[in-house]
Structure 1
Amino acid sequence: MCESLPSPATLKTFSRSQPFFRTLLVSRSRTPLAMNLLLASFSRLKCLRVLDLSHLWNIESLAPQIGHIKHLRYLNLRNTGIASLPKFVYKQLNLQTLVLSYNEKFTLLPSSIENLKHLRYLDLSNTGITILPESICSLTDLRTLKLKSPKLKMLPKCMRNMRSLRHVEMYPDHAKLTGMPVGIGELTSFQTLSLFVVSPTREFAGIQELGRLHQLKGLLMIKGLRHVPHQNDAQQANLMSKNLSELYLLWSGDGVDVDSSQEINSKEVLEGLQPHANVQKLWIEGYPGVIFPSWVGSSTALPTLTSLTLNDMPNLEGWSSEHLLPSRLKALRIGKCPKLTLPTLPSSIEKLTVERCNDPTLSSVENLPHLSFLEVFGFDEIETLREVPLGNHTSLETLYIMNFRKLKSLSNNLENLTTLANLRIVGCGELDSISEGLQNLASLQDFRLCALPKLKSLSLQALTALQILELNTCRILDVSVVEFQHLVALRELKLRKLPQLTSLPEGIRNVTTLENLEIWSCRSMTKLPEWLQHLPALVSLKIQDCHADLHKRCEKDNGEYWPKISHLRVYNEIAF
C-alpha cells in the first residue's frame, strides 16, 4: 500500500517486479511526475486484481493506460473528483467491486453498466446521480447497492429482476425519493433495505410488498404512512416477522403536512405496524392520532427497547391503556406533542429531550438518578429554573435550556449539578443576568450562550475548569467587564454576533491557555490589541464577517497586523 505516491526512483524499482503485482492501493498524490510514472506503468500490470485510487483528488478522469488491465476485480475511485468513467471500465468483465462514492460531479451512470455481469458490489453514495438506468437490472449477481445519494429521485422500475440483491442502503432522510418500484417484494433475499417510501399512486409499490421480505434486519425507515388506508394493509407489511433493531415510522416524509382527516384510521394503521420484540430503537413522527395503540413503547411488546422518539404529534394525548415504558429504556425524546401527558418514566433513562409537551413544570424529569443528558425547550410559561426539579440529578453531565421565552432567572437550582460538563442556554428572551446558579459548577467545561437579547451581565469567576466559551447574539451584554481572567483552563473562545464589541476585552490577555479565538460578525470591531500576539498558547485566529477595516488589517502579507499574527493559523474572510 502506498500512503502517498512513491518517489520516481522507487517507482523504477517497483516497475521491475510489477508484472506480478495483484494489489495496488494509493491514497494520495503529491507530485505530477510521480503520478505520471505510476500511470505509465499500468499497461504492464497484467496480473493486477485490486486497484484503489481513492482520495486522489487530482486525477479527475482515468488514464487510458488502466484499460490495459484485463483481469481487474476491484476498482475504488472514491473521492477522486471524476465526472464520468471511460468506456474501457465497462469492458472490465471480471470486475466484482466498483466504488464511485463521494464524487459529486459524477451525475450519469450509462446503460453500459449492464456489461459488468459479475459485479457484486456497487457504491454510488454521495454522487450527483438522480436516476439509475434500467439496464442496471441486468446485474443479476449484484449483492450490495449503496445509494446514499441525496439527489436520487427514483429507483429502476425493473428492480425485481435483481434476484441476488441483499443490501440496498439509502439515506433515511432521502427527501426526493417518491416511491418504491413495483415488485420489490419479490427480492426475498433482502437483508438490508434502510428506506421504504409509500406512495399514493399505483405506479409504485404498496406497503404490502414489505410482507415477503422476512430476512430484513438492522434499520428500516418507512415514510409516507399517510398513504396507508387500512389496518389490513399495514398488517401485510408483517413487521413482526423482521428482526429489526431500529424502526422509524413517519406519517409524512414528503414535505406535506398530515391532514386531520387521517386521524380516523391512524391508530389502526399503527396497530398493524407492531414490530418484532427485539426492536431497540423506535422513532414515530407525524402520527395524527389522539391515542397510541398499547404496543408503542410497551415494556411487554418491546422489552429490549432502549431508545424512543415521539415527534411532531399535535393531537396525541397518551396511550389507550395503563402504560409502563420498558425498564431498559435509556434515551427518550418527546418533541412537539403539546397535549401528551407523559407516563411515569423508568429510572433507567440516561438521555432525555422534552419539547413542548403537556408538562408545564417539567415534573417528568424528577427521580431519574442515572440521567446524564437533559435537553428541554419550548416551555414558555417557566420564569425561573426554581420551578424545574433539577436538584437530584447528581449524574447530569449535559444540560441544554432552549427557547424558554419567559425565563428571567436561573436561580440557584443549578448549584447541585457538580458533575455538569456542558451547558447551553439558547433563546431565553427575558434572561438579563447570569450570575447565580453557577457557583458550584466546578466541572463545567463547555458553556455556550446564544440569542439572549436582554442579557446584561455574566459572572464566570467560579468556572475554573471551563475550556470552551461561546457568546453568541447577546447584543447588549457588556463583554468588556466579563471576568475572562478567571478562566484558567480556557482553550477556545467564540465571540459571535456581538455588535456592541469594539475591541477585545482586556481580561483575555491573562488567559494564557487560550488556543483558538474566533471573532464572527462583530461588525463594530476594527482593531486587534497589541497584546494578542503575546498570548503564549494561541495557535488559531478566525475572523469572519467583521468590519472591513479589521479584515484589511489582517490580510496575508499586506495587512498592518500580518507581521503580528503570521505565526498563527489565520482564517480571514468577509462574505457580506
Structure 2
Amino acid sequence: MLDDLCPNMSLKKLRIEKYWSRQFPTWLIELQLPNLVEVNISCGCKHIPPFGNLQFLKNLSLQSMGGITQMGAEFYGYGGFPSLQKLILERMHKLEEWSEYHGVDELFPKLQSLKIFCCPNLKSMPRLPTIQHLEISQCNGSILSCMGTLTSLSVLRVGNLNDMAFLPNGYIRNLTSLTKLKITQWTQLQSLPGNEMQHLEMLRSLTIEWCNNLASFPSEVGHLNSLCFIRLLGCPSIIWQPEELIQILNSVHQFQIQICGNKVNLRGQLQHLHTLKGLSLIGAHVSSIYKYNKGYENPELSICCCDELQSLMTAEVANSAQLEKLYIDGISNLTTLPDWLQHLKSLRLLTTRNCPRLERVPMDLKNLHMLEDLRIVGCPQLESRCETQTGKD
C-alpha cells in the first residue's frame, strides 16, 4: 500500500513510523523525492536508501532499524550528504560498523549535530570534520575512541556507557574546541582523567549528574565558568578535601553541587565561599528529602547528612557572605537556628522544613533587613510560640 502512496516530488518533509516491511517502497529506494529537507524513519527494513544523494537534506533521523548491521557506500550514495546538518541514530541494536567511504569527495561537509542513542554494538564512526554537537547514550564505550578526530566539537554529552569505569587516556585530550561537557547516568564511572581535562582549555561548562560511583574529581579543570555536580539517589560517593572544594567553587562563576556532610567536613569553611548565594542544608540522604524539594529553586550548594549547623560558619567572618537563599530541611536534632544567620545581611529567603525539635527562632532575625520570605513548615514545637498575639515569638 505504501508503494502506491508515492508523494508529490516537491515534498520537503517525510516521516514514516512503525513501518515493519522488509524493504522500503520503490519511490524511496530510488529517491524520487529529490527536494526532501527532513526525513524521519522508524522501520524494520534491512537496507538503507542512498540518502546521501539528497542534495537538500538537512535533518535525518533513523530509528528502530534493527536489521541494519553496517552503514557505508549504500548509505552515502554518490553525494555524501552535501547539506546534512543534523543526524540522529536511535535504537539500531545490530548496527556494528559506520565506515568511512572514499567514493565521494567529502562526507558530511556541513554536519553540525550528531545524536547516537541505544546503539550498543556500534564501535566506529567516520571522521566528521565540521561537527559541533555530539550526544552518545546507551552505546558501547569503545565508540569514544573515535572522538579524538573531532577537533571542531564544541558540545559533548555522554551517558549510560556502563561497560566502562574510566575514560581511557587519549579519548578527549584532542577536543581543543570543547566548551561544554555533560556526563550523565554513567553509573560505573569512577573517575575523570585529570591529565586529559587539563588540555581542554576552552571548556567553560562541566555537568556531572547521576554518576553514582564517581569517587574522585580532578583538582584542575581548566577555566570553567559553570560547574554542576548533581546526584539525586543516596549520598554522593565523591570525597572532597574541604580546601580543594572551596578553591574550585570560588574559581567558577556558577556552580551547583551536592555533597555529603559525612564525607566532607566543611566546619568553619562556608564563610570562605565568597560568591555563594544559594545553600541547602539537609539532615538525611538526598533521596529521602528530594520529594520535599520539588518546589525549591536549585541551590548552588546542597549538603546532605548535615546535622551540625552551628559550626559551618564563623560568625566573625560571616559578614562578608553573599548568601541570598537558605534552605534547612529534615534536621531532626535541631533545636534552634544557628547564630551566624544574623550576619547574613544579603539573605532574602529562609525556609525551614521538617525539623520536629526546633523550639526557637532567634530574635536577631529581625536585623536581616533584606529578608523578604520566611517559611517554617513541619516544625510543631514552634506552633504555640508563633500563635498570633499570644505566642512568645
Partner of residue 283, structure 1: 61
Question: In 1, distance between residues paired with 2:2 and 2:333?
Answer: 58
Q: TM-score, normalised by structure 1?
A: 0.50
CA contact (8 A) 1:361 1:388 kept: no
SS in 2 for 1:443: coil
Q: CA deviation at 1:424?
A: 1.8
SS in 2 for 1:365: helix
Question: In 2, distance between residues paired with 1:235 and 1:441?
Answer: 49
Question: In 2, distance between residues paired with 1:234 and 1:542?
Answer: 63
Over 3 Å counting, the alpha-carbon distance change for 1:483 and 1:389 in structure 2 is farther
Partner of residue 39, structure 2: 247
CA RMSD of aligned residues (A): 4.2
Partner of residue 363, structure 1: 145
Question: In 1, distance between residues paired with 2:4 and 2:331?
Answer: 58
Q: CA deviation at 1:280?
A: 1.5
- Amino acid paired to 1:467: H
Partner of residue 196, structure 1: none
Question: In 2, distance between residues paired with 1:362 and 1:349?
Answer: 15
Counterparts of residues 421-500 of structure 1 (less than 5 Å)? 421-434=204-217, 437-451=218-232, 453-458=236-241, 459-460=244-245, 461-472=247-258, 474=260, 476-478=262-264, 480=266, 484-493=270-279, 497=286, 499-500=304-305
Question: In 2, distance between residues paired with 1:491 and 1:216?
Answer: 53
Quick check: 412-421 or 313-322, which moved more? 313-322
Over 3 Å counting, the alpha-carbon distance change for 1:240 and 1:315 in structure 2 is same
Q: Pick from 7, 10, 20: which aligns with 1:212? A: 7
1:352 correspondence with 2:145: no
Q: CA deviation at 1:308?
A: 1.3
1:342 correspondence with 2:120: no
Partner of residue 235, structure 1: 28
Partner of residue 42, structure 1: none
Higher alpha-carbon Rg: 1
Partner of residue 315, structure 1: 94
Question: In 2, distance between residues paired with 1:429 and 1:488?
Answer: 29
CA contact (8 A) 2:89 2:116 kept: yes
CA contact (8 A) 2:17 2:41 kept: yes
Q: CA deviation at 1:420?
A: 2.1
1:436-462 Cα shifts (integer Å, max 9, x gaps): x23253333232232564223253214
Q: TM-score, normalised by structure 2?
A: 0.69
CA contact (8 A) 1:399 1:424 kept: yes
Question: In 2, distance between residues paired with 1:347 and 1:472?
Answer: 37
1:309-335 Cα shifts (integer Å, max 9, x gaps): 112222111358847740221111112
- Amino acid paired to 1:283: S
CA contact (8 A) 2:64 2:91 kept: yes
1:276-297 Cα shifts (integer Å, max 9, x gaps): 4312222222221233554657
Question: In 2, distance between residues paired with 1:432 and 1:374?
Answer: 22
Partner of residue 313, structure 2: 506
CA contact (8 A) 2:99 2:126 kept: no
Q: CA deviation at 1:537?
A: 4.0
Q: CA deviation at 1:340?
A: 0.8
Question: In 2, distance between residues paired with 1:308 and 1:322?
Answer: 17
Counterparts of residues 111-260 of structure 1 (less than 5 Å)? 207=2, 211-217=6-12, 220-226=14-20, 228=21, 230-232=23-25, 235=28, 240-244=33-37, 246-251=38-43
Over 3 Å counting, the alpha-carbon distance change for 1:534 and 1:238 in structure 2 is farther
Q: Pick from 152, 157, 182: which aligns with 1:400? A: 182
Q: CA deviation at 1:506?
A: 2.3
Q: Pick from 365, 376, 380: which aligns with 2:162? A: 380
Moved over 6 A (4+): 236-239, 272-275, 550-554, 559-562, 571-574
Partner of residue 79, structure 1: none
Question: In 1, distance between residues paired with 2:100 and 2:192?
Answer: 38
1:420 correspondence with 2:215: no
Partner of residue 68, structure 1: none
Partner of residue 372, structure 2: 568
Partner of residue 62, structure 1: none
Q: CA deviation at 1:500?
A: 0.6
CA contact (8 A) 2:113 2:133 kept: yes
Over 3 Å counting, the alpha-carbon distance change for 1:456 and 1:492 in structure 2 is same
Partner of residue 531, structure 1: 340
CA contact (8 A) 2:125 2:143 kept: no
Question: In 2, distance between residues paired with 1:237 and 1:475?
Answer: 64
CA contact (8 A) 1:432 1:457 kept: no
CA contact (8 A) 2:14 2:39 kept: yes
CA contact (8 A) 1:250 1:287 kept: yes
Question: In 2, distance between residues paired with 1:296 and 1:495?
Answer: 55
1:328 correspondence with 2:110: yes
Question: In 1, distance between residues paired with 2:281 and 2:77?
Answer: 46
- Amino acid paired to 2:257: L
1:469-494 Cα shifts (integer Å, max 9, x gaps): 33347585426359555544444456
- Amino acid paired to 2:313: E
CA contact (8 A) 1:267 1:289 kept: yes
CA contact (8 A) 2:215 2:238 kept: yes
Question: In 2, distance between residues paired with 1:423 and 1:314?
Answer: 30
Partner of residue 50, structure 1: none
Over 3 Å counting, the alpha-carbon distance change for 1:279 and 1:382 in structure 2 is same
- Amino acid paired to 1:303: P
Bigger relative contact order (CA 8 A; separation at least 6)? 2
SS in 2 for 1:399: strand
Q: CA deviation at 1:495?
A: 6.2
Question: In 1, distance between residues paired with 2:35 and 2:333?
Answer: 60
Unmatched 5+ residue regions in structure 1?
A: 1-205, 252-261
